[in-house]
Amino acid sequence: MIDIIITSYNEPKSTLRAVNAFLKQKIKNFRITVVDPFPEVEKFLKKNIKSKNFIFFLDPGEGKSYALNLLFQEYSSENKDDIFIMTDGDVYVSDNSVSEILKAFKDKEIGCVTGKPVSIDSRNSKYGLWAQTAFAGIDKTRKRLSREKKFFECSGYLFAIRKSVILDFPLETSEDSIIPFLFWKKGYKIFYAEKAEVYVKNPDNWGDWLAQKVRNIKAHENLNKIAPDMPRTKSFWNEIKEGAFFAIKQPRNFREFIWTLELYFARLYLYMKAFRELRNKKYADGWRETKIESTKTLD
């Protein structure tokens, strides 16, 4: 059984697109579960989706990680060929995404597979260029680490795991970081399925950009408390080591060069802000605690 779990937050039209992106693929023995805390989203989706493979799960509203833990246990299986595929309602996947993920799992040593986030933002704007640069850097790093069979964190936009290996995970950090580490500790490998694409709209203004990035950094930095022995691939120092020189090579003109310089200062500021907030307040699963309106494309 392939369980596709789509976590959403009051984005009915975008979530409908996310579901349909899976329904049009050739998949055997699967179900799609949308997890959302809004009953009106359930009503909208059930009106527009007639597939018997679709299920709606009313999120109790305790955060994304809490909801995923509930479904991990409810949909648990002893068959390690059964798969969980996880994504979000505000993104959508390529037509070959499931086949590419399943192809990777033919290797029994692989426990986690992550897809390739692709920015749909134009680089003709500053925030579009920032997104394109960040995604290109992530792609480069994941290709290298996957090829070298080293540990790396997955993308919450699209990643998959074998069932029966873990039944839950800590709530105090991002699931795309801690879950791969739990598999790694059990002797499984992580694989980057770069042909399994997931299309992402990124923030297009300072307020939304900062809110999203600070939230992500806080989740990853909390790993120091939860899993101090975990090899970090997303951190301030790794970003400098892996990304600083890479980013400055991306501009194609003078305008993009200036925007890239601004990106350095923006990333420094957001790390300072995230570290300060972590010192003053204990981290909690703040999934969509602040609405990031500019990432919505349909709702």
Q: Please say whether the beta carbons of 32 and 19 come within 8 A.
A: yes
What integer pLDDT is reported at residue 13 of this predicted model?
96
Tell me the residue type at 251. Answer: P
What integer pLDDT is reported at residue 215 of this predicted model?
86
What integer pLDDT is reported at residue 243 of this predicted model?
77
Question: Shortest CA distance to 33 belongs to which of 13, 66, 58?
Answer: 58
Would you say residue 60 lies in a domain?
A: yes
Would you say residue 22 lies in a domain?
A: yes
Would you say residue 170 lies in a domain?
A: yes
Structure-token match 């309602």, residue found: 89
Q: Please say whether the beta carbons of 30 and 55 come within 8 A.
A: no
d(CA 207, CA 143): 31
Would you say residue 85 lies in a domain?
A: yes
Query: What is the residue range of 190's domain?
Result: 2-203
Rg of the Cα atoms in the chain: 19
What integer pLDDT is reported at residue 172 of this predicted model?
82
| Total number of domains in the chain | 1
Q: In the 8-state DSSP scheme, what is residue 92?
A: E
Tell me the residue type at 65. Answer: S
Q: What string of DSSP letters covers 107-140?
A: STTEEEEEEEEEE-S-TTSHHHHHHHHHHHHHHH
Specify the CATH number for the domain of residue 107: 3.90.550.10
Q: Please say whether the beta carbons of 179 and 154 come within 8 A.
A: yes
What integer pLDDT is reported at residue 282 of this predicted model?
59
Coil, helix or strand at residue 93: strand
What integer pLDDT is reported at residue 290 of this predicted model?
53
Would you say residue 239 lies in a domain?
A: no
Would you say residue 92 lies in a domain?
A: yes
Would you say residue 69 lies in a domain?
A: yes
Helix locations, the chain, DSSP H: 12-23, 39-48, 64-74, 97-104, 126-147, 175-185, 206-221, 223-226, 236-248, 254-280
59-68 burial, b if ≥16 CB within 10 A, otherwise e? beeebbbebb
Q: Please say whether the beta carbons of 277 and 218 come within 8 A.
A: yes
This prediction has a pTM of 0.92
Structure-token match 């979000």, residue found: 88
Coil, helix or strand at residue 146: helix
Residue 287, burial from CB neighbour count under 10 angstroms (0-12, 13-18, 19+): buried
Q: Please say whether the beta carbons of 84 and 163 come within 8 A.
A: yes
Would you say residue 65 lies in a domain?
A: yes
What integer pLDDT is reported at residue 217 of this predicted model?
85
Residue 297, burial from CB neighbour count under 10 angstroms (0-12, 13-18, 19+): middle
Give mean pLDDT in consecutive 10-residue pieces for the chain, a chain of 299 residues: 95 96 94 96 96 94 90 91 96 97 97 97 96 95 95 95 92 90 96 98 94 86 82 78 86 96 94 85 55 74
Q: Please say whether the beta carbons of 160 and 190 come within 8 A.
A: no
